[in-house]
C-alpha cells in the first residue's frame, strides 16, 4: 500500500490491487473519491479539479 499526503488530502493505492489502476482519496478521514487512473474517471464519489490536478502531479512524479 502506498500512502501519500498532499494538499490536505491523503492518497492510497495498493500494488497488485484489482484493475483498473486506481487511487482512493480521503480528506480529514472522510472518503472523497475512488479515481480510475487508466480511464480518467471517478469509480465512486466525485473529484474536484484540485484533486485531479494533484493526482496528475503525483502520476507525473511517479508516486502513483
**Nearest residue to 23 (alpha-carbon basis) of 48, 43, 53:** 43
C-alpha cell at 8: 490536505
pLDDT reported for residue 1:
60
Distance, in Å, from the CA atom of 49 to the CA atom of 15, rounded to the nearest integer, reads 25
| Residue ranges, the chain, pLDDT below 70 | 1
The answer to whether the CB of 64 falls within 8 A of the CB of 2 is yes
Is-above-0.85 flag for pTM? yes
- Residue in the block written with cell 466525485: 46
Nearest to 23 by CA among 48, 44, 49, 8: 44
Terminal Cα distance for the chain, rounded: 11
How high is the pLDDT of residue 15? 80
Amino acid at each position: 500500500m502506498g500512502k501519500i499526503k498532499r494538499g490536505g488530502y491523503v492518497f492510497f493505492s495498493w500494488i497488485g490491487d484489482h484493475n483498473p489502476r486506481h487511487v482512493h482519496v480521503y480528506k480529514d478521514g472522510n472518503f472523497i473519491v475512488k479515481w480510475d487512473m487508466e480511464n480518467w474517471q471517478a469509480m465512486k464519489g466525485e473529484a474536484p479539479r484540485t484533486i485531479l490536478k494533484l493526482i496528475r502531479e503525483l502520476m507525473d512524479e511517479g508516486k502513483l
